[in-house]
Structure 1
Amino acid sequence: MFDRFGPNYVLYPSFVIFAMALALMAWAPNGIALLGVGALMGLGYGTYMSLSQTIAIQVSPLDHTGLATSTFFILMDIGTGFGPSLLGSIVGATGYQSMFAIVTFVPLASILFYYLAHGRKAAIARRSTSRA
């Protein structure tokens, strides 16, 4: 779908699916619901992380693909390292249910960030190639 319809077609829904999973995680009343949330979370997070790396490599010059890949993973590792510390302080102050409700807005905010950083360029490029 990414190759056929472009990144926007796949990334915007993946952000929404991940946000839905986080919102449902705040609500999950039992283990069965938690399994469903895990599937949604894997679909949303797994899709946007792998496609984000693909975009980072595609937009970098050919001789900088190694730099783009390492920068992507360094920033991902920083988020993976500092994120739990920040979220732990939220859990300490509000509890897990509130923390998951609060972080629901992170992938939703990522929609705007993605649009400003790459999404609008991808949409313009898609329109120009579909007319040709």
Structure 2
Amino acid sequence: MVRFLIRLGVSLALAAIALLVTSLLVPGMHLQWQGFLVAIVVFAAVQTFFEWLVEAVFRRGAPAVAGVAGLLSTAAALFVASLGDGINFDGVAAWVLAAVVVWLITALAGWLSGKYLLPRIAPKKQG
């Protein structure tokens, strides 16, 4: 349970950081502060759901499928989060570029946190 809560916190923090950095890097992406917290929660929830779904479908698939699926789940999560007031895009190009940037940030930071942060904070039980 502790590992789940830590993963949830890390996921929300990574979503917030990725969305903030992407809004600074991608000219056509805009964050509205009044809906930012909702956008973070919606983005993290949708991305987590899509990642679970892809993992269930492509359990034995190639790693390339997981990478493409992660990018597609990020794009879908950004689209769903943009239906509210937190995130806006000036066009399809900004949405696609934002999806790539958010995917790169969350993938790298997720890998680093899983490798270095989680084992130190909440090690797996032995036995």
- TM-score of the pair, normalised by structure 2: 0.31
- TM-score of the pair, normalised by structure 1: 0.30
Q: Which has the higher helix share?
A: 1
Larger Rg: 1
